[in-house]
Amino acid sequence: MTVPKSGESTYEARIRRAALLSARHSFAREFLDFYKHLVPFQKTQGAKLARAKDLHAGPLAAMEFRKHLNLTLLLPDFRGFLSVLEQHAPPALAGSAHQIARLPSESWISSLEAYWQHAGKYDQQVGAFAQFIPRAFLEPYAEFCGARIQRPPVVGAPRLCPLCGSRPLLGVLRPEGDGGKRFLLCSFCGQEWEFRRLLCPTCGEEAENKLPVYTAEQLPHIRVESCDTCKFYLRTIDLTKDGNAVPLVDDLAAIPLTLWAHEQGYSRLQPNLLGT
Ligand SMILES: [Zn+2]
Ligand SMILES: [Zn+2]
């Protein structure tokens, strides 16, 4: 049901895509130039997780996800992560990282544990970078765990991730036959599940005339799939239009679409790493 998302090549693809989109879109350059420094850290962390023998006891059961936060393994890398942010992040985020670096490790632990318990369930768009630090730090671990969860058979069209119960971050249209099949990408564990194309993942609306789709000329492969019943929208990366897109990265570059959707009165169900 999903395309596995872990391993070094995934991170390499993200770095390459961020470099390309940064050169192409000046509106996304500041963040993507920082992102190119963040992903190598995540790649090293991903490789370390893949090597950690005690994590390979077998597949995880679906929905047991949040019981597995191995801070003994992860915490030694947290200070290094904060220094990447201090050196390369946009000023406000670098400032937050600098302040957090001076706090005792108990405070780091409680922030990471709180994020792990609630991520993808009750997130609100409370402001730029609001969740960035725990989310970016734990993303490789969440994706690593997500790739190890036993796949339950998918029944119907679940609006929450069948593996971890989180909300979708994005839609992904993958080529199939003459068209594309839509998947939802989990905002927490990074796995995908199949989802009908004409169905609002927020409220379940199925009437085509209530589900308008918008695209912008500068980002033709990114669809704003909105719902006039609940006024939420799903951003969907259309791989039938650009097979080189990397959904997680292309979403981060789509800043003008966030502003446009907001002006039209549509909200996003789940914010991305930027908090938008
Ligand atoms: Zn998930
Ligand atoms: Zn809806």
Confidence check: pLDDT of 136 > 80: yes
pTM for this model (two decimals): 0.93
Confidence check: pLDDT of 41 > 50: yes
Nearest to 149 by CA among 22, 25, 2, 39: 2
Distance 162 CA to ligand 1 centre (A): 7
Distance 40 CA to ligand 2 centre (A): 37
Confidence check: pLDDT of 170 > 60: yes
User: pLDDT of 103-118, one tens digit each?
Assistant: 999 999 999 999 999 8
User: pLDDT of 253-276, one tens digit each?
Assistant: 999 999 999 999 999 989 899 888
Distance 270 CA to ligand 2 centre (A): 14
Distance 234 CA to ligand 2 centre (A): 9
Task: Count CA within 13 A, CB hemisphere, residue 128.
Answer: 12
Least confident of 68-72, 212-216, 221-225: 68-72
Distance 67 CA to ligand 2 centre (A): 31
Confidence check: pLDDT of 90 > 80: yes
Distance 199 CA to ligand 2 centre (A): 8
Distance 269 CA to ligand 2 centre (A): 10
Q: How confident is the model at residue 178 (pLDDT cuts 50, 70, 90)?
A: confident
- Residue 127, pLDDT score: 60
Separation CA 127–CA 159 (nearest Å): 25
H or E element that contains 76: none
Distance 246 CA to ligand 2 centre (A): 26
Distance 115 CA to ligand 1 centre (A): 14
φ/ψ (deg, to 5) at 121: -110, -50
Separation CA 119–CA 63 (nearest Å): 13
Separation CA 168–CA 159 (nearest Å): 8
- Residue 3, pLDDT score: 46
